[in-house]
Structure 1
Amino acid sequence: MGDLGEILKHPDEICPMIKLGMQVRETEMRTPELHWAFCYTMLRRVTSKFAVSLLQLGPEHRNAMIFYLVLRALDTIEDDMSLSSEVKTPILEDFHEHIYDRDWHFSCGSSDCRVLMDQFHLVRQAFLELDKSHQEMIKDVTERMGAGMAKFIDKEIETIDDLNEYGYYVAGLPLHGMLKMFVVPGLEDSDAEYGRLSNSMGLFIMDLKYEENSVEAVRCLNEMITSSLVHVEDCFKYLSVVKDVPALFRLFALRQVMAIGALALCYNNIDVFRFGVKQRRGLIAKLTERTRTMSDVYGVFFEFCSLMKSKVDRHDPNATETVRRLDDIQNICINSGLLNRRKFYIMRSEEGYNSALKIFKECGVTSRFDIFGN
């Protein structure tokens, strides 16, 4: 009943949610082969956010789905706390070889992730049908990511530098691999720079695990979120690189707008530790349907930054730095000259909406646009 109440509070999200559900079902139904059908279904079960963008890619890009599922299996091994480091470490280090081995099987994880591991032979079958170049790319990223995970099995993440290094292995590497997989023109000419941008964007979207302890926990949470905001400018640069490859642009743009939405939701929010928080399915559907251009991306970031600014506690030790970084992001959005080209808005009744709307109007966004995105 709670979910229904949330839906009724945001009627402008109902149609996008229905349309997205129909698209996902249609994609799954037009996949006759058992192993590919399993991969599509499993993708939706292990990652609701990423699935909505990956499932909209055409069949020619389903290599991206296999890439994700292979790395999700690797992540499942890392996350299983019932495994000792003596068992876990060699599997992480050798997983890039196991994806070729038809006889290898390892059951671990829980819930849907255990199903993924128990039926990994179906993912392997799909993997072996990919082009050799894509297989090699997936193997390379898996090897490097597995080695990085193994390094941190018995090492605590105690500093921001530790967090950034870990983030490089688990988020930066996969994004750079995805960029190569889509063969973005000119990538080879400045591979190192795009690798840096991939890492920066990966750090921005990486899931973080926070300390559970009231006031200090929230302050720690706020500091980590503030730290992640430094990567936003690189996210914009990264998206500008792929803007001429529509499928890739939408895939990564959705990840970024969902990431800034998650940060806005979690910022200064004690419920992160009490109950856990998640974005509304309707909001995810709305973002998925309507994030199509850089102007959309700038607009979403601008709005969520306004929401975050409305939540800043002046007693927070990082309050000044948080506001400064949010201002910097909003200035980038304004200076892009694209805010007035956007035709939909994310926030309707959320705190901070009125201030965001006021600034949008000052930037030249007029009433001829559909303010509520209907």
Structure 2
Amino acid sequence: MGMMEMVLKHPEELPALLKLQLASMQATRFLPPEPHWAFCYKMLQNVSRSFAIVIHQLGPELRNAICVFYLVLRGLDTVEDDMAIPIDTKVPILKAFHEHIYDTSWHFICGEKDYKDLMTGFHHVSTAFLSLAKGYQEVISEMTQRMGNGMAKFIEVEVETIADYDEYCHYVAGIVGLGLTRLFYAAGLEDFALDVLSNSMGLFLQKTNIIRDYLEDINEIPAPRMFWPREIWGRYGTALEVFKEEDRSEDALRCLNDMITNALKHGPECLQYMSALRDPAIFRFCAIPQVMAIGTLALCYNNIHVFRGVVKIRRGLTAKIMEGTKTMSDVYAAFDDFSGILAAKIDKSDPSAVLTQRYVDEIRTACKARFLNKTKRKTFSIESKTGHEICLVLAILLLALIMILIVWR
């Protein structure tokens, strides 16, 4: 959907979209004077623009620690993802990556575009890492070691069972949740007890990404890297590739819905984790990706386009989520809205329908039991709205452009 078409169909999202654009511009212009920190924040903006916007809302000390943590893990992930690296070269690097971050002379060129730039200038990340307080360094080093070892394990091991799937997602995302929680604790801002729930936060996000990225991953050259567990997809086909075929749409959708159902089981623990956060900036940092995830699952559920092209939440809705997620009540409302959208798409003849409904009911029950305002309100919508006056929209667009130009100057 083009920008103009999106605005015409969803003009109510334009104010949030404008605010997101302004925040992105401010994040882009933020470059500390030190060369290593300037490199880190420039790379952060290049490899994850939305993450950069949220991280800038954190206090300086924690912001720096999380920026470095993210870039270290992004570097590790770049090594894992580069299929041109021989396995006998890749595995030792993954296992020793936590040691390389202490060496300001180390770099390993791999990846493409911005990721290649990150790896080429990785000595800047190491320099920034060594400038952090010891407590932050210890957390980042430990989590990098655990993730690197886990990635190395799954380089030559197929994800066969759901247990394998959960283990892989723990290594590449659950450990991120754990590391972030310990960084929050090291900063003296959150409770260490959140450790026990942090894995679900990571798994919910990672499984959503794995589901959404089916087509991109299976078309990867020179060879696909897929993490859909055979224990799930094997119920519906002889190979993951068959779900791309148009005459296998019914099987593809049933497999997709089963995968989404597996992800939904983490929802209640994610809500529990977020409800325990105390710092407002940390809360938004954690909550916005989770709301994006439940929205993405609602969009992907029973959606054959997952196997045909790119399925993503439109930019306007992303902006509305980022602007509207400020309190736990906002999160409960969003989870309830998106779960309701997903529930409306459940086909009772689907093999996983009963379990899907159960997990949706658990999420919605948790949300409704904790609404500060007991009156349910519709917060988010995936569908397009029509019947809005185009002249009004164009006037708003013109005003938005003027505001951007004023701020930019």
Alignment of 1:130-279 (within 5 A): 130-183=132-185, 187-188=191-192, 190=193, 194-206=194-206, 207-208=209-210, 210=214, 211-212=240-241, 213=243, 214-242=249-277, 244-279=278-313
Whole-angstrom distance in 2 between the partners of 1:341 and 1:39: 45
Deviation at 1:59, TM superposition (A): 2.1
Residue number in structure 2 paired with 1:357: none
Q: How far apart in 2 are the matches of 1:131 and 1:344?
A: 44
Q: Is the 8 A contact 1:28 1:41 kept in 2?
A: yes
Give % identity: 49
The residue that corresponds to 2:48 in the other structure is 47
| CA distance 1:336–1:141, shift in 2 (3 Å) | same
What does the per-residue CA deviation read over 1:317-353, in whole Å, with 9 as the maximum and x for residues that have no partner?
11122122112211111111335478871227459xx
Identify which of 100, 103, 108 aligns with 1:101: 103
Contact in 1 for aligned 2:31/2:42 (Cα 8 Å): no
Segment of structure 1 superposing worse, 224-233 or 10-19: 10-19
Structure 2, unmatched stretches of 5+, are 215-239, 244-248, 386-409
Cα separation, partners in 2 of 1:259 and 1:308, compared to 1, 3 Å: same
The residue type equivalent to 1:226 in the other structure is T
CA distance in 1, matches of 2:302, 2:383: 19
Q: Over residues 96-147 of structure 1, what are the superposed CA-to-partner deviations in whole Å (9 max), with x where a residue is unaligned?
A: 0111112211111122212211222222222222112111110110000100
- Corresponding residue of 1:19: 19
Cα drift, residue 17 of structure 1? 1.8
Number of residues of Structure 1 aligned to a counterpart in Structure 2: 346
Alpha-carbon contact 2:203-2:266 (below 8 Å) kept:
yes
Measured against aligned partners, the alpha-carbon deviations of 1:34-88 in whole angstroms (never above 9, x if no partner) come to 3323322322322244333223323232211111111011111111111221111
Q: Provide the secondary structure at the position in 1 that maps to 2:210.
A: coil
Mapped to 1, the partners of 2:126 and 2:66 lie a distance apart of 14
Q: Is the 8 A contact 2:173 2:202 kept in 1?
A: yes
The corresponding residue for 2:6 is 6
Distance 1:252 1:234 in 2: 13
Aligned to 1:60: 61
Which deviates further from its counterpart, 29-38 or 143-152? 29-38
CA distance in 2: counterparts of 1:217 and 1:37, whole angstroms: 45
Q: TM-score, normalised by structure 2?
A: 0.79
When residues 185 and 117 of structure 1 are mapped into structure 2, their CA distance, relative to the original with a 3 A threshold, is: closer
177-186 or 162-171, larger mean C-alpha shift: 177-186
Q: Please report how far the alpha carbon of residue 296 of structure 1 lies from its aligned counterpart in structure 2 after TM superposition.
A: 0.2
The answer as to whether partners of 1:77 and 1:92 remain within 8 angstroms in 2 is yes
Letter in 2 for 1:84: P
TM-score by length of 1: 0.86
| Partners of 2:375 and 2:23 in 1: CA distance | 27
Does structure 1 conserve the Cα–Cα contact (< 8 Å) formed by 2:337 and 2:378?
A: no
Pick closer, same or farther for the CA change 1:342–1:22 going to 2, 3 Å: farther
Gap change, CA 1:229 and 1:339, over 3 Å in 2 = farther
Cα distance 1:2–1:30, how it changes in 2: closer, same or farther (>3 A)? Answer: closer
Alignment root-mean-square deviation, CA: 2.1
